[in-house]
Amino acid sequence: MNTSNTNQAPYKSGYVAVIGRPNVGKSTLINQILQQKLSIVSHKPQTTRHQILAIHSTPNAQIVFIDTPGIHNQKGTALNKHLNQTAQSSSHGVDAVLFLVEALKWTDEDLRAAKVMAQSSAKKILVVNKVDKVKDKQQMIPFVEKIMGEFQLDGVHYISALKNKHIDPLLRAIHQLLPEGPPIFDEDQVSDRSTRFFITELIREQLMERFHQELPYSVTVNIEAYEVKGNMHHIHANIWVERNNQKRIIIGSKGEAIKQIGINARREIEQFIEQKVNLKLWVKVKSSWTDDIRAIESLGYTDEFKD
């Protein structure tokens, strides 16, 4: 990419951390900006478990968003501690921080996320999401003034990530905060993660959608084998749970549930890789894996900038 043309504005690039409590819309916002599903989304908190780089390239800038797990107050398991540590580390060494909140809603988890955001030396933008749900927009004035008064923020933007409203002005504001510099990644690259990683996430998304009430957070997925023959991708994946009764739930009566999960996941994977997929799923039990550091590491919850 040629960045030396004196007739054009200088090229800019940098890292932007996206911070907020669970289910505030961080992944939805990033998916809208990239115009493709990069981070899985569900109504269940802690859907995002890994730090994902989402790369948005334009002719005059490259913004590398860091999508993180929601900062939450749940304690106890090693997995919960890992998720919070991953989110907290994302605000260090970045050029800007987006602090997402939901319009007119403030919780203890928002406060915890705000304190993490405040520790960053980067420029900070308050992003008020889900404003489409507020009929009387005047109500947001004291809500925002209180946050801006308590924390040092450099600006505020009102958006609806789900409905893709008012995101362009936010992108222009981010661009103003970035330093001049060449692209950090290839302009056709959209993430630092591998295809295998996104396939496991798409399978986990289907599990979250179907079993969001029956199962807690003790489900994860890893790929055991991946082979490409011609235009067919043969994928063998393991679904890990903590107890036998969870395994029975996922398999379902006569295998109906796991069969439907496979059908839905295969469709999403084929759309993602634009190739035919032969997907085989197995459900396995690893007792108390969410509270076992070695088990967490073996299932991929380490080295957040790698896959």
| Consecutive 10-residue averages of pLDDT for the chain (307 residues) | 60 94 90 82 51 91 86 55 55 90 95 90 96 95 96 96 96 97 94 89 89 75 94 95 92 96 96 95 84 60 43
What is the model's pLDDT at position 40? 54
pTM summary value: 0.78
What is the model's pLDDT at position 218? 75
Residue 235's region, left for phi above 0, alpha for psi from -120 to 50, else beta, is: beta
Q: Which domains does the chain have, with CATH numbers?
A: 12-177 (3.40.50.300), 195-298 (3.30.300.20)
What is the model's pLDDT at position 193? 86
What is the model's pLDDT at position 61? 97
pLDDT tens readout for residues 170-216 = 999 999 999 999 999 999 999 988 889 889 989 988 998 888 777 75
